[in-house]
């Protein structure tokens, strides 16, 4: 089982969700986050003075999936979230040990 | 039997909801029984009067009070006409006063929108508190000092009790300094005309009072601000306003020294806006810039306002309120010049917004929304003095120039003078207030203002042949700057030495909402630091 955390553009969240739905990923958790990568944000202008917006708003999507479909999920996320421009985001894959269903208390297999 | 038990339960031990339902039904039945007979009784006698859906027959000769309807006398008719004329003026003055009162909401939103999220409860509260503080201070003595010697205001039926101006003799001429009637609106100033005038003048004073809260926002101690509110409403504003509007010495420059009609300021470019803007300048200098506003080299750092939609909505509320501010200043709905005043006002605001947009766009590559708002307000401030005296072409020119001036002034104040004014209050109100009265001295076209300040003939500016009028405006502007700047500089210095103007650095970095107000403006949001916040390079001003 793997935890796949992807940090994507806010306007790509729906595309990623649709792509994951198509390959039957059952659920996801979405968090509004801020961050920067190599580009270190961008500049804006306020009352004639430029300033650096260093931490840009992004959305983090977390899904936990079986090892067998990890590659499909990563491929789906990258295809859906990509624009080709700087700032498309990252995908991280972490091992997930267990997962429990809170309603039933059952351990997922 | 179970169902019977339920019914009994409902009737004997009703639950609260059931109880109120039962009570409601009982009342409805009772009401129907009692009311029905009286309804039937009314229906028996049909209404005698005919309705008037077009409005053509409502308000006729029978509404004029006469002793003998068959033989109305001219004095009786004149009585009603006179009463109606003054009544129209009263409604006009009160309605436009209500519009100006609502400008407080506009100021609150513009200033709060241009400041940071961690200070919103504090900035809003200052803009809120100036209303009660200013009103009480003005009621105690501000109004008396301002208008106590204005004499009879004919448009309000003659406010006869306001008849005591404190005057000294200089150069062989009387110099009116302040009024002395109307303290607490008591004694013989318990008069409808005086009360109408009080409402209208009070909301103008409050506009001046709320301007410095923008320039000193995000660092001003609330207690110091409260003291400021009383100083402004009780002494500083009433004195200058008396000199221009209360029959004081600036108004008399025409009669005494032949300078046009004296210092003419139709709705308050100098009396309201310049007073507020210059007080804001003195305050911003004494209190110093926000932490992080200037880096070690002294270069300004952008501190973006947290809510542009709020600021733009506030700008429109101000723009709407200005239809009270300027047209209301005729003090007469029967003076049909109000149409010219209203149109000139809206034109100048539009011109200011457009020129500011074009100038900022060319200079920085984008039309900054905060500068659009400042541009429109600058046009409105500038037209406030001349609105009744100029053509529509002049109004567009005056507003258009104001839109450029405000951008240049914002940059000059921030970058060259190194004075931190988060919302541009000094540039909008101070600098363009001055431009407004000078513009009157240049563009007044001689179609209006016959007998203004007791000088026969209409008001003409320099471009229409009266250089004296321009000098009177310049003297009024100079007096405003010197008197208001000096008195507020001293005032803020005294506050600095006694109670302090500024919150602690810790409070400022944390945001003023909790330390000063005890409540967050946005408790449900995580604040992320913006540029300039908790700036390591901050050097306090010497």
When scoring A47, A51, A54, A55 by the number of chain B Cβ atoms within 10 A, the one with the most, hence best to mutate, is: A47
Does residue B542 contact residue B298 with C-beta atoms inside 8 Å? Answer: no
Kindly tell me the burial class for residue B306, based on how many C-beta atoms sit within 10 Å of its own C-beta (0-12, 13-18, 19 or more).
buried
Whether residue B304 and residue A51 make contact (CB cut-off 8 A), yes or no, is yes
Does residue B408 contact residue B447 with C-beta atoms inside 8 Å? Answer: no
Please check the confidence at residue B538 and state whether its pLDDT lies above 50.
no
Q: What pLDDT is attached to residue B171?
A: 85
Nearest CB to A49; choose among B300, B305, B365: B300
* Mean of pLDDT values over B481-503: 98
Whether residue A51 and residue B368 make contact (CB cut-off 8 A), yes or no, is no
Q: What pLDDT is attached to residue B69?
A: 87
Please check the confidence at residue B537 and state whether its pLDDT lies above 50.
no
Taking the Cβ of residue A34 and every Cβ of chain B, the question of whether any pair is shorter than 8 Å is answered with yes
Taking the Cβ of residue A50 and every Cβ of chain B, the question of whether any pair is shorter than 8 Å is answered with yes
Does residue B472 contact residue B262 with C-beta atoms inside 8 Å? Answer: yes
* Mean of pLDDT values over B244-271: 95
* Mean of pLDDT values over B272-282: 98
What distance in Å separates the CA atoms of residue B154 and residue B346, rounded to the nearest whole number?
28
From residue A67, alpha-carbon distances to A4, A7, A22, A23, A108 in Å are 11, 20, 18, 14, 14
Please check the confidence at residue B313 and state whether its pLDDT lies above 90.
yes
Per DSSP, the residues of B199-232 read HHHHHHHHHHHHSHHHHTTTTB-HHHHHHHHHHI
Q: Tell me the shortest Cα–Cα distance from A68 to chain B, in angstroms.
A: 39
Largest pairwise CA distance in chain A: 59
Taking the Cβ of residue B378 and every Cβ of chain A, the question of whether any pair is shorter than 8 Å is answered with no
Please check the confidence at residue B46 and state whether its pLDDT lies above 70.
no
Q: What pLDDT is attached to residue B43?
A: 55
Taking the Cβ of residue A92 and every Cβ of chain B, the question of whether any pair is shorter than 8 Å is answered with no
Of A62, A80, A76, which Cα lies nearest the Cα of A4? A62
Residue A32 with chain B: CB contacts under 8 Å? none
Check residue B453 and give left, alpha or beta (phi > 0: left; psi -120 to 50: alpha): left
* Mean of pLDDT values over B95-113: 98
Of B395, B146, B106, B427, which Cα lies nearest the Cα of B276? B427
* Mean of pLDDT values over B69-86: 93
Does residue B511 contact residue B119 with C-beta atoms inside 8 Å? Answer: yes
Q: What pLDDT is attached to residue B21?
A: 62
Per DSSP, the residues of B86-144 read HHHHHHHHHHHHHHHHHHHHHHHHHHHHTS-GGGHHHHHHHHHHHHHHHHHHIIIIIHH
Whether residue B410 and residue A49 make contact (CB cut-off 8 A), yes or no, is no
What distance in Å separates the CA atoms of residue B325 and residue B309, rounded to the nearest whole number?
24
Tokens of A2: 């793997």
Of B103, B268, B258, which Cα lies nearest the Cα of B171? B258
Taking the Cβ of residue B424 and every Cβ of chain A, the question of whether any pair is shorter than 8 Å is answered with yes
Chain-centroid distance, C-alpha B156: 21
Whether residue A46 and residue B303 make contact (CB cut-off 8 A), yes or no, is yes
Nearest CB to B366; choose among A45, A52, A55: A45
Q: What pLDDT is attached to residue A58?
A: 94
Report the SS3 class of residue A32. strand
What distance in Å separates the CA atoms of residue B160 and residue B353, rounded to the nearest whole number?
42
Kindly tell me the burial class for residue B476, based on how many C-beta atoms sit within 10 Å of its own C-beta (0-12, 13-18, 19 or more).
buried
Nearest CB to B302; choose among A34, A50, A55: A50
Dump pLDDT digits (tens) for A43-57: 888 888 888 887 888
Chain B nearest-CA residue for A34 = B528
Please check the confidence at residue B192 and state whether its pLDDT lies above 80.
yes
Neighbour tally for B528: CB within 10 Å: 10
* Percent of chain A scoring above 90 in pLDDT: 70
The C-alpha angle B533, B536, B541, rounded to 5 degrees, equals 85
What distance in Å separates the CA atoms of residue B131 and residue B101, rounded to the nearest whole number?
9
When scoring A46, A53, A55, A58 by the number of chain B Cβ atoms within 10 A, the one with the most, hence best to mutate, is: A46
Q: Which helix (H) or strand (E) element contains residue A6?
A: strand A2-8
* Mean of pLDDT values over B479-486: 98
Q: What pLDDT is attached to residue A42?
A: 80
User: pLDDT category, B536, cuts 50, 70, 90?
Assistant: very low
User: pLDDT category, B29, cuts 50, 70, 90?
Assistant: low
Interface size, chain A vs chain B, as Cβ–Cβ contacts under 8 Å = 42
* Mean of pLDDT values over B352-378: 96
Taking the Cβ of residue A46 and every Cβ of chain B, the question of whether any pair is shorter than 8 Å is answered with yes
Dump pLDDT digits (tens) for B424-482: 999 999 999 999 999 999 999 999 999 999 999 999 999 999 999 999 999 999 999 99
Kindly tell me the burial class for residue B524, based on how many C-beta atoms sit within 10 Å of its own C-beta (0-12, 13-18, 19 or more).
exposed
Does residue B378 contact residue B427 with C-beta atoms inside 8 Å? Answer: yes
Tokens of B296: 């070690």
Q: What pLDDT is attached to residue B39?
A: 53
Chain A nearest-CA residue for B415 = A49
What distance in Å separates the CA atoms of residue B357 and residue B369, rounded to the nearest whole number?
8
User: pLDDT category, B540, cuts 50, 70, 90?
Assistant: very low
Report the SS3 class of residue B409. helix
Whether residue B302 and residue A51 make contact (CB cut-off 8 A), yes or no, is yes
Beta strands in A18-88 (DSSP E): 29-35, 42-46, 49-53, 56-65
Taking the Cβ of residue A94 and every Cβ of chain B, the question of whether any pair is shorter than 8 Å is answered with no
Q: What pLDDT is attached to residue B13?
A: 60
Q: What pLDDT is attached to residue B15?
A: 64
Per DSSP, the residues of B152-176 read --GGGT--TT---EEEEEETTEEEE
Instruction: Round the average pLDDT of chain B to a whole number and report it.
Output: 91
When scoring B364, B422, B425 by the number of chain A Cβ atoms within 10 A, the one with the most, hence best to mutate, is: B364
* Mean of pLDDT values over B361-375: 95
Q: What pLDDT is attached to residue B296?
A: 86
User: pLDDT category, B260, cuts 50, 70, 90?
Assistant: very high
Residue A57 with chain B: CB contacts under 8 Å? none
Q: What pLDDT is attached to residue B525?
A: 83
Whether residue B360 and residue A44 make contact (CB cut-off 8 A), yes or no, is no
Taking the Cβ of residue A47 and every Cβ of chain B, the question of whether any pair is shorter than 8 Å is answered with yes
pTM to 2 decimals? Answer: 0.86
Among the ranges given (A54-68, B23-37, B182-196, B436-450), the one the predictor scored with the smallest mean pLDDT = B23-37
Whether residue B370 and residue A50 make contact (CB cut-off 8 A), yes or no, is no
When scoring B110, B293, B301, B302 by the number of chain A Cβ atoms within 10 A, the one with the most, hence best to mutate, is: B302
Dump pLDDT digits (tens) for B200-212: 999 999 999 999 9
Residues shown for chain B: 542
Please check the confidence at residue B335 and state whether its pLDDT lies above 70.
yes
The stretches in chain A having pLDDT less than 70 are 109
Please check the confidence at residue B412 and state whether its pLDDT lies above 90.
yes
Whether residue B304 and residue A34 make contact (CB cut-off 8 A), yes or no, is no
Residue A45 with chain B: CB contacts under 8 Å? 302, 364-366, 368
Q: Which helix (H) or strand (E) element contains residue B369?
A: helix B369-384
Sign of CA dihedral B379, B286, B239, B196: positive
Nearest CB to A52; choose among B303, B414, B531: B531
């Amino acid at each position: 089982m793997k935890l796949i955390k992807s940090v994507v553009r806010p306007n790509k969240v729906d595309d990623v969700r649709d792509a994951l739905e198509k390959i039957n990923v059952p659920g996801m958790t979405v968090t509004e986050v801020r961050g920067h990568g190599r580009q270190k944000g961008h500049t804006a202008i306020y009352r004639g003075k430029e300033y650096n917006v260093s931490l840009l708003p992004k959305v983090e999507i977390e899904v936990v999936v079986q090892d067998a479909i990890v590659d499909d999920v990563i491929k789906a996320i990258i295809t859906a979230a990509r624009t080709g421009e700087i700032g498309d985001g990252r995908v991280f894959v972490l091992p997930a040990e267990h997962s429990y269903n809170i309603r039933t208390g059952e351990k997922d297999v | 039997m179970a169902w019977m038990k339920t019914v009994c339960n409902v009737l004997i031990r009703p639950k609260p909801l059931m109880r109120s339902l039962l009570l409601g039904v009982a009342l409805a039945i009772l009401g129907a029984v009692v009311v029905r007979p009286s309804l039937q009784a009314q229906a028996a006698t049909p209404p005698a009067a005919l309705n008037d859906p077009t409005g053509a027959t409502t308000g006729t000769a029978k509404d004029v009070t006469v002793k003998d309807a068959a033989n109305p006398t001219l004095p009786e008719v004149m009585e009603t006409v006179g009463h109606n004329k003054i009544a129209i003026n009263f409604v006009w003055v009160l309605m436009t006063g209500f519009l100006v009162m609502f400008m407080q909401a506009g100021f609150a939103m513009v200033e709060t929108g241009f400041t940071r999220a961690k200070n919103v409860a504090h900035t809003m509260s200052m803009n809120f508190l100036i209303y009660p503080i200013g009103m009480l201070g003005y009621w105690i003595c501000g109004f008396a000092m301002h208008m106590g010697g204005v004499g009879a205001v004919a448009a309000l039926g003659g406010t006869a009790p306001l008849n005591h101006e404190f005057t000294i003799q200089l150069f062989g001429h009387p110099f009116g300094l302040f009024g002395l009637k109307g303290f607490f609106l008591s004694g013989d100033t318990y008069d409808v005309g005086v009360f109408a005038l009080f409402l209208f003048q009070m909301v103008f004073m409050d506009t001046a009072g709320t301007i410095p809260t923008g320039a000193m926002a995000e660092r001003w101690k609330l207690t110091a601000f409260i003291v400021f509110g009383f100083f402004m409403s009780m002494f500083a504003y009433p004195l200058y306003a008396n000199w221009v509007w209360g029959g004081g010495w600036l108004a008399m420059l025409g009669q005494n020294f032949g300078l046009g009609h004296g210092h003419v300021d139709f709705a308050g470019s100098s009396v309201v806006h310049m007073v507020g803007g210059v007080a804001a300048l003195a305050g911003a200098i004494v209190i110093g810039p926000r932490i992080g506003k200037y880096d070690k080299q002294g270069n300004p750092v952008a501190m973006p306002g947290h809510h542009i939609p709020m600021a733009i909505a506030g700008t429109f509320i101000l723009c709407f309120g200005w239809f009270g501010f300027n047209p209301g200043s005729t003090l007469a709905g029967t003076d049909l010049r109000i149409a010219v005043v209203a149109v000139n006002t809206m034109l100048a605001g539009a011109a200011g917004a457009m020129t500011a947009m074009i100038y900022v766009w060319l200079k920085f590559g984008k039309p900054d929304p905060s500068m659009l708002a400042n541009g429109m307000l600058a046009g409105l401030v500038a037209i406030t003095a001349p609105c009744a005296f100029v053509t529509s072409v002049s109004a567009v020119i005056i507003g258009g120039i104001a839109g450029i001036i405000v951008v240049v002034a914002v940059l000059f104040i921030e970058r060259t003078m190194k004075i931190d004014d988060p919302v541009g209050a000094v540039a909008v109100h101070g600098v363009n207030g001055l431009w407004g009265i000078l513009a009157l001295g240049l563009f007044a076209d001689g179609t209006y203002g016959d007998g203004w300040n007791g000088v026969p003939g209409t008001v003409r500016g320099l471009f229409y042949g009266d250089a004296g009028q321009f000098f009177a405006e310049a003297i009024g502007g100079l007096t405003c700057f010197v008197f208001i700047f000096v008195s507020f500089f001293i005032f803020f210095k005294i506050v600095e030495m006694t109670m302090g103007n500024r919150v602690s650095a810790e409070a400022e970095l944390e945001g003023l909402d909790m330390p000063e107000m005890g409540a967050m403006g946005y408790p449900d949001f995580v604040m992320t630091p913006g540029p300039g916040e908790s700036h390591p390079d901050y050097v306090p001003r010497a």
